[in-house]
Amino acid sequence: MSKKQRVYVGMSGGVDSSLSAALLVEQGYDVTGVYMKNWSEDLPGFSCPWQEDYEDAMRVAVQLGIDFKMYDFQAEYRQKVVDYMIDGYKQGVTPNPDIMCNQEIKFKLFLESALADGADIIATGHYARTKNGRLYAGIDTNKDQSYFLYRVSSDALKKTIFPLGDMAKPMVRVEAKQRGLATAGKKDSQGICFIGDVGIEDFLRQFVQTEPGEIVDGSNNNVLGEHDGALFYTIGQRHGLGIGGGLPYYVVGKDMQKNQVFVSSNIDDDRLWTEQMHISAPHWISDVPKEATAYQVRVRHRGALNSCTVSLQDPNQPVIDLEDPLRAVAAGQSAVLYDGEEVLGGGIISYR
């Protein structure tokens, strides 16, 4: 390239984004590392690791000899991601904060800030691929993160690079160690977006007041036990119900107004299985799907792809008909549509 393209790479302090930055340097880009400070608040029993992550990212930037800076997105992250998640759980649905983080923070706010700062493009350590504003699954099917990216716009994808999209996760560790990157052996974060290793329930308890309520057998309305907050339960959940003995029970529904959780011991209970999904807030990356055409849909990260067709009679609320019934589909989750390896887009499951 005659003039080096300036790329701002999101560096979280993990091995994926560290190797992404290293590969971009080797490929001849003018690279700047950016740590997005999205959350720094400690919670009871949980110390936010942002300072350690920031220092790890900076250490790798020094190793690579690239510029490094921090963008403080805490206010926007709280409003666009955390409040969205809390509101969803209060309504009794199961939202996905990682998807909203990508839509509002990484591929909107970060992109806009980087471009205003002089960048030509951005990069992240996601396991996905993009070409000409289209999104494709990553080569590593066990690590593929395209599900979380379906609400990213085509314009944003045209200004984005995913250096790890053609790599398998085990090779990322190998390549990072070969380069001596400071984060090569660092454990992957399993928490909420960039908050860290804290579970959803532990996090929600700091922001939501809950009251005990009844756990009811949905087949005969017998009260089987008591829960400590209906919002903590999701469709298909088996563990954590506190009603042991006999056959296992599964959550099949909730009544947020009455603060009741409904369960069933019947694995074939109709309320556990879904043949049709209505989705709201649809987002199509490039092309609107065609009716009466076979596609595949995924309703959770790492979930199996299921054959389906789409009805667009109401473009604002498409209907997805499944070839085979799906178990434990919850409102608030995302239904993401694939055409082979390409991600067409999707929407939020409003009811099933």
Mean pLDDT in residue range 140-161: 97
pLDDT exceeds cutoff 80 at 221 = yes
Q: Give me the catalytic one of 9, 23, 31, 101.
A: 101
Mean pLDDT in residue range 110-132: 98
pLDDT exceeds cutoff 80 at 44 = no
Residue 212's nearest CA partner among 259, 250, 255, 263 is 259
pLDDT exceeds cutoff 50 at 1 = no
Q: Does residue 280 contact residue 335 with C-beta atoms inside 8 Å? A: no
pLDDT confidence of residue 198: 67
**117 and 246 belong to one structural domain:** no
Residue type, 74: Q
Rounded to the nearest integer, the mean pLDDT of the chain is 93
Beta carbons within 10 angstroms of residue 96's beta carbon: 20
**141 and 77 belong to one structural domain:** yes
**69 and 177 belong to one structural domain:** yes
Contacts of 51 (CB under 8 A, 6+ apart): 40
Q: Which of 161, 181, 201 is the last residue of a domain?
A: 201
pLDDT confidence of residue 202: 82
**88 and 175 belong to one structural domain:** yes
Beta carbons within 10 angstroms of residue 211's beta carbon: 9
1 in a domain, yes or no? no
Q: Tell me, what CATH number does 257's domain have?
A: 2.30.30.280
Question: What pLDDT, in 10s, does the model give residues 281-296?
Answer: 999 999 999 998 999 9
**50 and 167 belong to one structural domain:** yes
Q: Does residue 229 contact residue 208 with C-beta atoms inside 8 Å? A: yes
In which domain, by residue range, is 319 found? 273-351
Compare 152 and 201 and report the one with higher pLDDT.
Answer: 152
**260 and 306 belong to one structural domain:** no
pLDDT confidence of residue 190: 64
Cα 30 to the center of its chain, rounded Å: 29
pLDDT confidence of residue 75: 97
**259 and 277 belong to one structural domain:** no
Confidence bin at 47 (pLDDT 50/70/90) = confident
63 in a domain, yes or no? yes
Q: Give me the catalytic one of 85, 121, 152, 193.
A: 193
Mean pLDDT in residue range 192-202: 66
Mean pLDDT in residue range 97-117: 97
**251 and 136 belong to one structural domain:** no
Query: How many domains does the chain fold into?
Result: 3
319 in a domain, yes or no? yes
Confidence bin at 126 (pLDDT 50/70/90) = very high
Per-residue burial over 287-301, b = 16 or more CB atoms within 10 Å of its CB, e = otherwise: eebeeeeebbbbbbb
Confidence bin at 200 (pLDDT 50/70/90) = confident
**179 and 277 belong to one structural domain:** no
Q: Which of 264, 283, 304 is the last residue of a domain?
A: 264
**259 and 278 belong to one structural domain:** no
Q: Does residue 318 contact residue 283 with C-beta atoms inside 8 Å? A: no
Beta carbons within 10 angstroms of residue 132's beta carbon: 8
Q: What is the CA radius of gyration of the chain?
A: 22
SS in 3 state form for the chain? CCCCCEEEEECCCCHHHHHHHHHHHHCCCEEEEEEEECCCCCECCECCCHHHHHHHHHHHHHHHCCEEEEEECHHHHHHHHHHHHHHHHHCCCCCCHHHHHHHHHHHHHHHHHHHHCCCCEEECCCCEEEECCEEEECCCCCCCCHHHHCCCCHHHHHCEECCCCCCCHHHHHHHHHHCCCCCCCCCCCCCCCCCCCCCHHHHHCCCCCCCCEEEEECCCCCEEEEECCHHHCCCCCCCCCCCCCCCCCEEEEEECCCCEEEEECCCCCHHHEEEEEEEEEEEECCCCCCCCCCEEEECCCCCCCEEEEEECCCCCCCEEEEEEEEECCCCCCEEEEEECCEEEEEEEEEEC
158 in a domain, yes or no? yes
**104 and 124 belong to one structural domain:** yes
Q: Tell me, what CATH number does 19's domain have?
A: 3.40.50.620
**260 and 174 belong to one structural domain:** no
Question: What pLDDT, in 10s, does the model give residues 230-265?
Answer: 999 999 999 889 887 778 999 999 999 999 999 999
Q: Does residue 326 contact residue 137 with C-beta atoms inside 8 Å? A: no
Q: Which of 264, 288, 304 is the last residue of a domain?
A: 264
The Cα–Cα gap between 66 and 15 comes to: 16
101 tagged catalytic? yes
216 in a domain, yes or no? yes
Q: Tell me, what CATH number does 302's domain have?
A: 2.40.30.10
With 0.85 as the threshold, say if the pTM is over it.
yes
